[in-house]
């Protein structure tokens, strides 16, 4: 049995949620919400520190796998990134953040992500998926007087329920064919049943459900509408934290559980190429900021799915690309969430026009994030694409490489257009901007020095 000390991060995060829930229900009249949040952030910081300790301290004699959970350095790494990406969402700068339910739901969703990335069993995996998703349905609907928010919550709930049903059916078929629910047991028994119709059907249904939750084409149709009905801060949680957790689970499925089902690899290649072009062409004609981020995310998801098809050491290219992309997206959203027009958040891309004349520091940071997402050297996004394409070229997959490069050219067009708007267009509306935080400058430095950081801290983990 895994030592309880390896569950300290989840325990601290659970205490964070419990404190806010009890304080919000019984103590809001005597204890201001800001005080509760400050105390809650102490528990969140304790969770982060415990993760740091678990990642660097060798725990001799403690097994890293049980029937239900996996506790490895890779899991601790991803859990730490999840908590750091959620930290900015705890600032009281959005309308829904004046309600204690906002923090409770956010904490519960974070706890679901922590369970999800450490799952080693289909039941634990499903518990993590639902605990991560269900609070977020409520989080979207907190702005009760906003019709777009309620529409987004309803669409996300209905389509998410359909995906969860498909996932459950797939798990049931896998169990019916193998008699196993644990990841380790499935890995051992699947090679003996890889031609079974139940295994193929169950595996396909699990893959479809995961592609839906990752908003990969052709299962992307929900993302633009749902993103448009959220806030910039909520998009940060959906587009970064949730996808980080799901990507690790998808990686475990394909590198650990489903590696003996080769028919799934062409499905991934098809979904990857479809995502590249649906995202790139869809983002070209967007004027709404969050719809643009939805299509740009679909395009980037195509690159991330290609990482599952890279021969050789498949986990390393995935880690390099995902780390570079999510750092860029965190920086972009951290700067954009500080923009206001007449006291309201910016929702249109036209708000970025002429930004450099009034807010030069924020403009530099935004440009760094956009250049990195476009894959411009020497930024982090370039090294992510380099890590993906070189192994493909070495194995002779020239057609796929050509299609990927062409989609990158299309994607670069809309990223560079935004940079042009920031520096060479006239300002259409007066945008107020919070000064960039120190963390934003650190993120910008990481994008610039990514190759150096990777040299000294190589991203090379195993399951």
Taking residues 32-49, report their average pLDDT. 74
Question: Does some domain include residue 6?
Answer: no
Domain ranges, residue 343: 320-463
Say what the alpha-carbon torsion angle 180, 183, 185, 190 is, to the nearest 10 degrees. Answer: 80
pLDDT tens digits, one per residue of 127-163 = 999 998 888 888 888 888 888 888 888 888 898 899 9
Task: Enter the tokens of residue 438.
Answer: 């120190």
Q: Is residue 354 part of a domain?
A: yes
* 44-102 per-position pLDDT tens digit: 788 878 777 776 665 554 446 666 788 877 788 788 878 877 766 665 445 555 677 88
Average pLDDT of 3-25? Answer: 80
**pTM to 2 decimal places:** 0.90
Q: What is the mean pLDDT of the chain?
A: 83
- Indicate whether 382 pLDDT > 60: yes
Number of domains comprising the chain: 1
Percentage of residues of the chain with pLDDT beyond 70: 90
pLDDT at 1: 44
The predicted pLDDT at position 51 comes to 76
Residue 65: strand pairing partners: 70
Does residue 25 or residue 170 have the better pLDDT?
170
For the segment 416-434, the average pLDDT, to the nearest whole number, is 86
SS3 of the chain: helix, strand, coil, percent, to 5:
75, 5, 20
> Is 99 contained in some domain?
no
- Of 26-30, 40-44, 157-161, 351-355, minimum mean pLDDT range: 26-30
Does residue 51 fall inside a structural domain? no
Is residue 38, in this structure, part of any structural domain at all?
no
Phi, psi of 244 (to 5 degrees): -60, -45
Asked whether 204 and 170 are in contact (CB, 8 A), the reply is yes
394 belongs to a structural domain: yes
């Amino acid at each position: 049995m895994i030592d309880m000390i390896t569950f300290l991060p989840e325990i601290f995060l659970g205490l964070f949620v419990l404190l806010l829930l009890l304080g919000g229900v019984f103590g809001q009249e005597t204890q201001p919400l800001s005080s509760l949040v400050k105390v809650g952030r102490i528990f969140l910081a304790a969770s982060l520190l415990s993760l740091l300790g678990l990642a660097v301290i060798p725990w001799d004699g403690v097994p890293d796998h049980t029937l239900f959970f996996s506790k490895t350095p890779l899991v601790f790494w991803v859990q730490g990134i999840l908590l750091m990406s959620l930290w900015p969402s705890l600032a009281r700068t959005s309308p829904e953040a004046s309600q204690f339910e906002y923090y409770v739901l956010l904490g519960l969703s974070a706890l679901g992500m922590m369970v999800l990335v450490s799952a080693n069993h289909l039941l634990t995996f499903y518990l993590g998926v639902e605990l991560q998703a269900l609070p977020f349905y409520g989080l979207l609907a907190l702005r009760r007087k906003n019709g777009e928010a309620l529409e987004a919550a309803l669409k996300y709930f209905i389509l998410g329920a359909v995906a969860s049903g498909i996932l459950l059916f797939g798990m049931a078929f896998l169990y019916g064919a193998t008699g196993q629910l644990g990841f380790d047991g499935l890995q051992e028994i699947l090679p003996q049943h890889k031609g079974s119709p139940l295994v193929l059907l169950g595996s396909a249904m699990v893959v479809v459900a995961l592609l839906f939750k990752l908003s990969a084409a052709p299962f992307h149709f929900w993302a633009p509408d749902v993103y448009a009905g959220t806030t910039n801060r909520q998009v940060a949680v959906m587009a970064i934290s949730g996808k980080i957790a799901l990507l690790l689970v998808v990686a475990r499925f394909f590198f650990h559980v489903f590696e003996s089902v080769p028919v799934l690899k062409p499905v991934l290649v098809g979904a990857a190429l479809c995502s590249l072009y649906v995202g790139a062409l869809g983002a070209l004609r967007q004027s709404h900021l969050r719809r643009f981020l939805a299509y740009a995310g679909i395009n980037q998801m195509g690159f991330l799915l290609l990482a599952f098809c890279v021969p050789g050491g498949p986990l390393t290219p995935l880690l390099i690309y995902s780390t570079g992309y999510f750092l860029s997206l965190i920086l972009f959203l951290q700067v954009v969430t500080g923009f206001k027009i007449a006291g309201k958040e910016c929702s249109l891309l036209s708000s970025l026009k002429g930004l450099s004349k009034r807010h030069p520091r924020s403009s530099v940071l935004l440009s760094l994030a956009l250049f990195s997402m476009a894959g411009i050297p020497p930024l982090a996004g370039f090294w992510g694409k380099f890590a993906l394409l070189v192994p493909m070229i070495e194995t002779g997959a020239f057609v796929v490489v050509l299609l990927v490069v062409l989609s990158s050219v299309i994607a670069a067009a809309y990223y560079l257009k935004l940079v042009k708007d920031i520096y060479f267009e006239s300002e259409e509306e007066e945008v107020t901007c919070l000064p960039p935080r120190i963390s934003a400058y650190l993120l910008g430095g990481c994008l610039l020095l990514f190759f150096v950081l990777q040299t000294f801290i190589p991203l090379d983990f195993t399951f």
